[in-house]
Amino acid sequence: MTTYEEQSRKLERTQEILGYRFTRDDFLLAAITHPSATEGRSVKYSYERLEFLGDSILGAIVAAIAFHRYPDLDEGGLTRIKVALVSGASLSDVAAELGFADVIVFGSSETGTGKRGLHSALENVYEAVVAALYLDGGIDAATGFVEATLIPRMSPGMAREPENPKSALQEKLQVDGITPTYKLVETQGPPHDRTFVSQVFAGVQGLARGVGRTKKEAESQAAKSALASLGDFFGPNAEKEAAKKDAKEEKAAIKAEKAAVRAEEKARKLREREGSKQKKQG
C-alpha cells in the first residue's frame, strides 16, 4: 500500500528534477501515480486523465517549435519530425534519463513484477507531467519543460524518417524478393497497462525488436530499428560499394566528356587548316 510518506518524498524529488515548485501539488501527484496505486479506491487519482491532456499539449508545442525552426520544410517533413519526437520510445527514453523511474508511485499489484510495464509508464508520466505543468503554471511552464528535455533531440534528419516504417521496410526488402514478418515475443505489465515487444524477421533472420503500448506500435518501432541498421544485415559494405560504383560511373562520364571536347577541338582545327589551304589555292 502506498504511504503518504512515500508520496511526499516522491513529490519533492519530482519537483527537484523539474526545477519547478507546484502551487497545486495534487496535479503533480496525479501525474506520477500509476493506475495500480488507485486500485480499490472510489476516486481514480492517477496519470490517466492527465496523460490524455498532456498528449495534445505536447503535440502542439513540438509542432509549433518545428514549424518555426525549419521554415523550409513542408508539411510531410514537419509531421515526420513530430511523430519521431513524441513517439513512445522517445518519451520513455527522456523520462528514464530524467530519473522518473524512481518517482512513479506504484500500487501493490506491481510489487514483485519488476515494474514490467515501466516503459509505457515512463511515457505516460512524461505526458502527464506536461499536463500538470500546464494546469499549474500555464503554457509557458509546459513549454519550458519540453524545450529543456525533449527538444534537444529534434533534428532536421527526422524529416527523412518514414511516417510508416513498416511500409518503408517492406519496400526495401521486396527489392530482394523478401517480405518482412512480425512476431510478438513478449508481453509485459498487468492487463491495464500492457507493454508489447515485437521482432521483425526477413525470412528466418531476426532484424530488430521494438517496444510499444500496442502491438502495432511495437511492430512499427521494430521496423524503424531495422531500417536504421539494414546495412548491417544486408552487407556492411553495401553503401561503400554503391558509393564506389557511383564514383566510377561519374569518373567514366567525365572522361567521356573530356574525350568529346578533345575530338571537337581536333575537328575544329582540321576545319581551320582546310579553310586556310583553300584560301591560299584561291
Catalytic residue positions, numbered: 55, 127
Cβ contact 175:234 at 8 Å? no
**What is the chain's alpha carbon radius of gyration, rounded to the nearest angstrom?**
29
Q: Which three cell numbers stand for residue 174?
A: 521486396
Picking from 127, 131, 125, 85, the residue whose alpha carbon sits closest to that of residue 101 is 125
CA gap 105, 115 in Å, rounded: 11
Bridge partner list, 212: 196
Which residues, 6 or more positions from 149, have their beta carbon under 8 angstroms from its beta carbon? 94, 98
Other CB atoms within a 10 A radius of the CB of residue 251 amount to 10
Grid cell of 282 as nine digits: 584561291
| 211 DSSP β-pair partners | 197
- C-alpha cell of 99? 530519473
Q: And the C-alpha cell for 147?
A: 524545450
CA–CA gap between residue 141 and residue 152 (Å, rounded)? 17
User: Among residues 158, 205, 155, 160, which one has the least CA distance to residue 179?
Assistant: 205
